[in-house]
Amino acid sequence: MARAAVDRSAGRCESYRGPADPHFLVYLAARSPSLRSLEVTSRLYLPVYFLDKVITKLPMLERLVLRSGLVLKATLRALLDHCPRLELLDAGGCFMADVMGSRMRARCERTIRDLTLPLRGRLAACCSLCLTRANKFAEENDD
């Protein structure tokens, strides 16, 4: 049904709220160049090889809400690089796949006005010792 709605919009879809998987997001991005608001209500993991097929095609995106899933540092970097109008990013219900250093966090906070990132330490399957080591590595090798 969602694909049919995107097709009926004839390239003028400005907002989508509902469940999505990586393949639907590729479909949506390819057919909705003026998409401004995206809220994914289902669990989402967007693999790195999908980033250029989705995020680079959404330059008008102003609002992104991810209810649950896995967020990669590469996803955040792509959003900062390719979505200059992004004002709201809410990924508070998600897990981070990797640790973000303070410079990357500062870049997100400086660029995105309304920002909710996954809590620090909310990594998928990570013990406190691993988290401490990962934080140290992230600070030393920050973007």
Residue boundaries of the structural domains of the chain? 2-140
Instruction: Say how many CA atoms lie within 13 Å of 11 toward its Cβ.
Output: 2
Mean pLDDT estimate for the chain:
85
> What amino acid occupies position 135?
N
Tell me if 95 sits within 8 A of 122, measured CB to CB: yes
Average pLDDT of span 84-89: 96
CB-based contacts of 131, cutoff 8 Å, min separation 6: 99, 121, 123
Q: For 135, which DSSP code? A: H
C-alpha span between 84 and 37 (Å, rounded): 14
pLDDT exceeds cutoff 70 at 141: no
Amino acid 140: pLDDT: 60
Percentage of the chain with pLDDT > 90? 50
**Cβ-based burial of 11 (10 A; exposed 0-12, middle 13-18, buried ≥19):** exposed
Amino acid 129: pLDDT: 58
Could you please state the CATH topology (level 3) that the domain comprising 2-140 is classified under: 3.80.10
C-alpha span between 104 and 65 (Å, rounded): 19
For residue range 49-69, list pLDDT tens digits in order.
899 899 999 999 999 999 988
Average pLDDT of span 72-89: 93
